[in-house]
Amino acid sequence: MEVKPKFLIKNGKRLDGRKVGEWREIKITTGVIPNADGSCQVDFGKTKVIAAVYGPRELHPKHMVLSDRALVRARYDMLSFSVEDRKRPGPGRREIEISKVIAEALRSVVMVEKFPRSVIDVFVTVIQADASTRIAGLNAASVALADAGIPMKGLVTGVAFGKIYDETGKGVMVADVFKPEDQWGEADIAYAKSIANDEVVLLQMDGDVTKKEFLEGKAMADKAIEYTYQEQVKALKAKYEGD
Amino acid sequence: MEVKPKFLIKNGKRLDGRKVGEWREIKITTGVIPNADGSCQVDFGKTKVIAAVYGPRELHPKHMVLSDRALVRARYDMLSFSVEDRKRPGPGRREIEISKVIAEALRSVVMVEKFPRSVIDVFVTVIQADASTRIAGLNAASVALADAGIPMKGLVTGVAFGKIYDETGKGVMVADVFKPEDQWGEADIAYAKSIANDEVVLLQMDGDVTKKEFLEGKAMADKAIEYTYQEQVKALKAKYEGD
Amino acid sequence: MEVKPKFLIKNGKRLDGRKVGEWREIKITTGVIPNADGSCQVDFGKTKVIAAVYGPRELHPKHMVLSDRALVRARYDMLSFSVEDRKRPGPGRREIEISKVIAEALRSVVMVEKFPRSVIDVFVTVIQADASTRIAGLNAASVALADAGIPMKGLVTGVAFGKIYDETGKGVMVADVFKPEDQWGEADIAYAKSIANDEVVLLQMDGDVTKKEFLEGKAMADKAIEYTYQEQVKALKAKYEGD
Amino acid sequence: MIDKVTLKLMNDSFKKGVRLDGRKLDEFRDITVETGVISKAEGSAMVSLGNSKVLVGVKVNAGEPYSDSPDSGVLMTGAELTAYSHDSFETGPPSPAAIEIARVVDRAIREAKIIDVSKLVIKSGEKVWLVFVDIYTINADGNIFDAATLGAMAALATAKLPIFKDGEIIRENLKDSLPVDGKVVSSTFVKVGESVLVDPTMQEESALDARLTIGIKDGNIVSLQKGGNHGFNDQEVEDMIDRSIVHSKKLLKALK
Amino acid sequence: MIDKVTLKLMNDSFKKGVRLDGRKLDEFRDITVETGVISKAEGSAMVSLGNSKVLVGVKVNAGEPYSDSPDSGVLMTGAELTAYSHDSFETGPPSPAAIEIARVVDRAIREAKIIDVSKLVIKSGEKVWLVFVDIYTINADGNIFDAATLGAMAALATAKLPIFKDGEIIRENLKDSLPVDGKVVSSTFVKVGESVLVDPTMQEESALDARLTIGIKDGNIVSLQKGGNHGFNDQEVEDMIDRSIVHSKKLLKALK
Amino acid sequence: MIDKVTLKLMNDSFKKGVRLDGRKLDEFRDITVETGVISKAEGSAMVSLGNSKVLVGVKVNAGEPYSDSPDSGVLMTGAELTAYSHDSFETGPPSPAAIEIARVVDRAIREAKIIDVSKLVIKSGEKVWLVFVDIYTINADGNIFDAATLGAMAALATAKLPIFKDGEIIRENLKDSLPVDGKVVSSTFVKVGESVLVDPTMQEESALDARLTIGIKDGNIVSLQKGGNHGFNDQEVEDMIDRSIVHSKKLLKALK
């Protein structure tokens, strides 16, 4: 049992040395699963997630087939040893919920009408968890879809933000929360956009914030999203230049 | 852990004041679930059960389809908080058995040959349990089927009966057992008839009775059934008059 | 908790009095399940296993159908009371693995091309377990298939062999291991042949042996297999003569 | 379901008081009960009822009592209509039909107070004996209800009670029997058209309109279970009770 | 999914600021909350939101704490979109939609610190109270999120705490309430075409492009959950937050 | 299953002693083993065997021993043929193929006595270390058996043992290693037509008639598992044993 630290930010410095709006090192690599039609690994600091895309392919069972478009399915899961306490294999309630919001976010950009009656399967797997795994996974999934050559209106890009207490107990908004901030902080907000559509496509919150705090954190996250988006684009370009 | 009482009937008065052949207050209401094709709530004292009917409708999976008649399916379940100790969600072995006998009892009156290849789904849900839940549920299901306009040869009507010990330890037959009588009594007999067909359509017993006792209890229950049947008819009439 | 014995063989005599290459009493009976198309019980000492064959018959679900041959399925399971500690009903991981290797071994002899699009179901049930249950089951399954009149290239016949320590702690190879030898011995090798094809069709090992020991044990088992094969043939003949 | 030609043949025959296998309407098939057939089980019995064969075993484990009955052992009854015992049965979790059989056998034993659960306590509130009765069909040819009840009764009546010593269960060289007292048996009737038959075959069951299983102990009714998509009239119910009391005497003899 | 004719009708109507049931875009349906409806539950509430009816019950059991929080009781929230509450719902394990509802309600209660779990400890590290909040749809006509939150809140606020004495749980004649403090409510918005509506009916939900549920306590945001296959722009998000704060006052009144 | 044209190509090539990827029949693909890749795991390894990539992690928890071995820790091995590692694999509970892999790896480790389970006891009969070895395919291109064994071996050999103190598990700054001694490796052969090949690709596996996996430790056989719908003759079995002993030396080098 870990002990709750006295503060999560002090003199504007977070436990890992970052400033409020600063994000962890981001590393994006395509083609990590050669068998997949598209794949991508995203590292947000120690959080490491891989996404694989198979499809468009035939859909079973038949009663799920959509006659006018492709079904985009997502399955988020964690390796049993990606977390401190071993996770039992197979998706639980948390994983089912996250799979749902990831699939919905991706559907906002995939041109599903191009592939009626088929399925596009997106597998998001957490290799190592240090908070923000769903957002890292969504970023990876979006690049993996592009890597698979699926026509898209644009990428989906996200960065979590949160509220953490400082040495005086006051709440401070920060971008890209990591584990201790997620665990002990006052709010954790998963947030992703479609830059092309200028839309919020994923938004989930645990915590307690005022409207002002929410907007302040969101603005920080938007800057981190801009950077992350460029990294996504770079990774895709690197692949095509490498080809 | 509750303590077994010294007697369940004394001087002809049961723990809740009823006489041997007396039944609890019966309340029957139709239309409690507007979305359903038919629905009904039956209260036997503190036992409260609702039934909903959907159908005739298309049946999946196809291999269950009956080419010459409708399939009548029943699903009996209890809300987790309808009983003293929380019931785990989802039907267990007890619920599966009860669903089977309820479905069989209803099939004796539904004119299934009118709707070949379809299914009539009956959902029986215990909202609050104070014994006799399957019988209350069967009464509700039968009214819900009529409320749904399904052609029937008649209603199915039941009242449980049982054997309880008096202050001298002697067994006494009673109609419409409630929780303490079910829990501590010597026999609990679930019993239902089709009055139109003059047939026993549900009969299940736990306990120990002589043939004579059985027939004596059954005669009591028949009187309670006659009353319950009138209440069922009244509830259906009230609905049509209300229309 | 049983205590590990000091030796499993002493002066060439095993705990049940057998010599190294000696097998337990083998009893093979056909027709033990009249409803089945073919059936057989094999007793290896106190190990008792029955096999039933149904088929060729129609295969559900359709997506498993093989267009050019029959599917041979096997399901190995144990009665809950066939072992010291009650086994939970339903196949676990061990049973699933054994079912797989039994099915594969049987496919090597069944003329599956004679019955395209159908299934041949083989059920192997351990009635009482005293080691070598999968091998006894495979022997029974092979006879049950013949009893069902399924065209085969020959029978499948197996005998387990193992390595047990003597009073000096030295390992000794033996044929047809029984429970204490399985539990406390140094190696247990499930082994079966198709005599007609001169092929090893099942081979599984737990333990630690040299190549020399393996070949020595295998040679012993081959003798026991020859005897068992004759018993299989006798049982089948007895049936046809009895007809 | 049964085809119409066979159904007509059956009904014509029943009207003459004879069944397709030659039995009278109120006649059981031959019964044999063999106990002690599985040495790994604390108790076991193989029952043949005509071509129906049912194997029942009893295992006794140590475990926790239910929190609302700290001074009682626990009886648990399971049944499987095994896929190898009939072409129409499937693998997978127990079907509603199998669950019904297990629960009806369980109730008969429980309500007839065959096992004295108060004698199955190792340490009050902490450790009691759990008695598992597991029923498997080996060959299914109708009336598994009555065969299963006979098998459960015979397996329990001959079962040994393990010894709990120093945290371990000893199952060898046991002398004490399970605390079993009295015997319950059941008779199952089916109505086909206008006729009521006892101890139906699988073929007769496939034609049934209604079914009633009656458990009897010492001439008293200890369990009832009606099945089937149609009903019985009052007179039929009364008659079946009378007949089940008569049959119970022969069934008890089969238990020795 | 909704047919194109109805969808056009809807969108035309929304442009005039009116919904097919006559409501304004930013108007909730009638709300009633009845508590204490199930005497077997420690707390219960039946919520009607227009034609949507949701029944929520609270049961409190004694059990082990999580190993990483030995001095906290445990809150567990489940939801079922029951097959009897709408033609399109199916039996079986909870659907992703039902799991989402349960988790969103759970987070709102948890993050708003409605229950003081530190007061639910019977014996540190060994025995704590487990609070089960179970949500059932009785009739489903849209916006189960907000009805479920209201029901959970009302059931918890009126729930009694059992007594643990001599190893047993006493549930009769209880006086103490669950340690509940404060109230959280949620407002759910959907975007259909260009319009944003609060408290959608089932018909409106079948046409939605995006959905947002906002939990509010004391004017602060305590939970957010976006759904749907399309997005909201920044202005829409800001507007919905403002409106949810306004709606929260009316919703709190419905809780009395 | 493989198409007939490719199968003929394969067989023609095999007769010349060459495989479609240019390897000799008795030649393994390139092997790399990287350990310590997952910092949250007590031990971990990523193994590449040609295009097959397998990730193995070890987690160590405290738990109860089995009642029949109160003084032993527990080893549990799981494997998943993940849906993201090959187009033909599906989500859901482990397939028979995945279960077989897990059990074969487990037996090799267990029978080679790689882990000294007697050193994994925290308190006799009450608390022991449970060692979970979990195997995931990241990219599946044949011979997962041997890659999984290498990965499990490498992950175990580099795993740390947590500390149990005051009822809590400490996983930081660990010094002690798991009590691992010796190394086991396996070689898998498949027979296609008349040819026997080591370390098959997915394409070669789809054409196999028979398969044999041989686990070797210190030149001894510690596990065997045959698969496939056809058999091997005696000479082939003997040859594979000889070859597996030779291969084991190279495989051990890959483990460093």
For residue D41, the model assigns a pLDDT of 97
pLDDT at D98 over 80: yes
Residue in A with minimal Cα distance to F44: A81
Q: List the chains bordering chain C where 3 or more Cβ pairs fall under 8 Å.
A: D, F
Q: What are phi and psi of F184, to 5 degrees?
A: -115, 140
pLDDT tens-digit series, residues C129-161? 999 999 999 999 999 999 999 999 999 999 999
Q: What chain D residue is nearest to B110 in terms of C-alpha separation? A: D229
Check contact F-C (3+ Cβ pairs < 8 Å).
yes
Mean pLDDT of C122-128: 98
Backbone angles phi, psi at D13, to 5 degrees: -65, -45
pLDDT at F1 over 80: no
As a whole number of angstroms, the distance between CA D252 and CA E128 comes to 52
Q: What pLDDT, on a 0 to 100 scale, did the predictor assign at position D2?
A: 84
- Mean pLDDT for B54-61 is 92
Task: For strands D52-63 and D43-49, give the pairing.
Answer: antiparallel
Cβ of B1 within 8 Å of Cβ of D68? The answer is yes
* Arithmetic mean of pLDDT, D117-130: 94
Angle, helix D144-157 to helix D234-254, in steps of 10 degrees: 40
**DSSP summary character for residue D4:** H
Query: Average pLDDT of F66-75?
Result: 91
Mean per-residue pLDDT of chain B = 96
Per the structure, how many domains does chain E have?
A: 1
Instruction: Round to whole Å and give the CA distance between D217 and D228.
Output: 25
Distance from CA of E17 to the nearest CA of B (A): 27
Strands F121-123 and F74-80, by their bridges, are unpaired
Question: From chain A, which residues contact F within 8 Å (Cβ)?
Answer: 1, 32-36, 39, 46, 50, 52, 54, 57, 75, 79-86, 89-90, 121, 123, 125, 127-129
Mutation pick from F220, F238, F242, F248 vs chain C, by most beta carbons of C within 10 Å, is F220
* Domain-embedded: residue B1: no
CB D85 within 8 A of CB D142: no
Q: Which of the four pLDDT bands, split at 50, 70 and 90, describes residue A76?
A: very high
Which pLDDT does position A28 carry in this prediction? 98
Contact D226 B206 (CB under 8 A): no
pLDDT confidence of residue A243: 56
Structure-token match 């709190």, residue found: E252
Mean pLDDT value across residues E161-174: 89
Please give the average per-residue pLDDT across B25-49, as a whole number: 98
Instruction: Name the average pLDDT for chain A.
Output: 96
- Domain of B196: which CATH number? 3.30.230.70
State yes or no: pLDDT of F231 exceeds 70.
yes
The length of chain E is 256
- List the domain range (segments joined by +) for residue B164: 9-242
Question: pLDDT tier at F236 (50, 70, 90 boundaries)?
Answer: very high
Residues of chain D contacting residue C90, judged by C-beta atoms under 8 Å apart: 93
Kindly calculate the radius of gyration of chain C based on its CA atoms and give it in whole angstroms. Answer: 18
pLDDT confidence bin for A61, thresholds 50/70/90: confident
Taking only the tens place, the pLDDT of each residue in A108-143 is 999 999 999 999 999 999 999 999 999 999 999 999
Q: What is the mean pLDDT of residues F9-32?
A: 97
- Amino acid D189: pLDDT: 98
Considering its fold, how many domains does chain C have in total? 1
pLDDT reading at A222 higher than 90: yes
**What does the alpha-carbon distance between residue E150 and residue D71 come to, in Å, rounded to a whole number?**
43
Q: Which residues of D123-133 are buried (b: 16+ CB within 10 A; e: fewer)?
A: eeeebbbbbbb
State the pLDDT at residue E2.
84
Query: Is C74's pLDDT higher than 60?
Result: yes
Mean of pLDDT values over F87-111: 96
Collect all residues of chain C within an 8 Å Cβ-Cβ radius of residue F238. Answer: 211, 215
E strand map for A95-231 = 118-128, 156-158, 161-165, 171-175, 187-194, 199-209
Indicate which CATH number applies to the domain containing F153.
3.30.230.70
Pairwise CA distance, residues A144 & A30, whole Å: 7
HSE, side-chain direction, 13 A CA sphere, residue F147: 32
Whole-structure pTM value: 0.96
Q: Which of chain A's residues have a Cβ under 8 Å away from the Cβ of E234?
A: 198, 200, 218
Mean pLDDT lowest among C15-19, C70-74, D134-138, F167-171: F167-171
* Under 8 Å between Cβ of E134 and B89: yes
Chain D residues with CB-CB distance to B73 below 8 A = none
Residues spanned by the domain of F206: 4-255
Q: Which residues of E71-96 are buried (b: 16+ CB within 10 A; e: fewer)?
A: ebbbbebbbbbbbbbbeebeeeebbe
Question: Any contact of B with F, at least 3 CB pairs below 8 A?
Answer: no
Rounded to two decimals, the ipTM of the complex is: 0.96
Instruction: Render pLDDT for C166-208 as a digit per residue (tens, 0 to 9).
Output: 999 999 999 999 999 999 999 999 999 999 999 999 999 999 9
Q: What's the whole-number mean pLDDT along residues F166-180?
A: 89
Q: Do C199 and F238 touch (CB under 8 A)?
A: no
Q: Taking 80 as the threshold, does the pLDDT of residue B1 lie above it?
A: no
User: A39 in a domain, yes or no?
Assistant: yes
Give the pLDDT confidence of E222-249 residue by residue, as tens digits.
Answer: 999 999 999 999 999 999 999 999 999 9
Closest approach of chain E CAs to the CA of A149, in angstroms? 21
Chain E residues within 8 angstroms (CB to CB) of chain A: 67-70, 94, 96-97, 99-100, 102-103, 107, 110-113, 212, 217, 219-234, 237-238, 241-242, 245
Contact residues on chain E for A210, CB-CB shorter than 8 A: 219-221
Give residue C243's pLDDT: 56
Contact F221 C205 (CB under 8 A): yes
Burial string for D136-151 (b: 16+ CB within 10 Å, else e) reads: bbbbbbbbbbbbbbbb
* pLDDT value of residue A242: 66
A116 located within any domain: yes
pLDDT of residue D105: 98
Q: Which of E103, E212, E222 sits opposite A207 (nearest CB)?
A: E222
Instruction: Report if residue B4 sits inside a domain.
Output: no
Q: Which residue of B has its CA nearest to E202?
A: B35
The answer to whether the Cβ–Cβ distance between C203 and F226 falls below 8 Å is: yes
Chain E residues in contact with A202 by the CB 8 A cut-off are 226
**Which of C33, C57, C127 lies closest to D139 in CB terms?**
C33
Residues of B with CB under 8 A from a CB of E: 1, 32-36, 39, 46, 50, 52, 54, 57, 75, 79-86, 89-90, 121, 123, 125, 127-129
pLDDT for D167 equals 80
pLDDT for the residue numbered A169:
92
CA angle E76, E80, E86 (to 5 degrees): 160
Q: Indicate if the alpha-carbon torsion angle D111, D114, D116, D120 is positive or negative.
A: negative
Average pLDDT of chain D is 96
Please report the pLDDT score of residue C153 as a whole number.
97
Flag whether pLDDT at B45 surpasses 80.
Answer: yes
pLDDT in the model for residue D232: 98
Percentage of residues of chain B with pLDDT beyond 90 = 93
Give residue F172's pLDDT. Answer: 86
Residue E123 in this model has a pLDDT that exceeds 70:
yes
Average pLDDT over residues F169-196: 94
Long-range contacts of E62-66 (CB under 8 A, 24+ apart): E62/E122, E62/E127, E62/E128, E62/E129, E62/E130, E62/E162, E62/E164, E62/E169, E63/E127, E63/E128, E63/E129, E63/E130, E64/E126, E64/E127, E64/E128, E65/E121, E65/E125, E65/E126, E65/E127, E65/E128
D226 vs B97: CB contact, 8 Å cut-off?
no
SS3 C188: strand
Chains sharing 3 or more CB pairs under 8 A with chain B: D, E
Instruction: Encode pLDDT of B71-129 as tens digits.
Output: 999 999 999 999 999 999 999 999 999 999 999 999 999 999 999 999 999 999 999 99
Which of A97, A107, A112, A212 is most worth mutating to test chain E (most E CB atoms within 10 A of its CB)?
Answer: A97
Examine residue A20 and state whether it is found in any structural domain, yes or no: yes
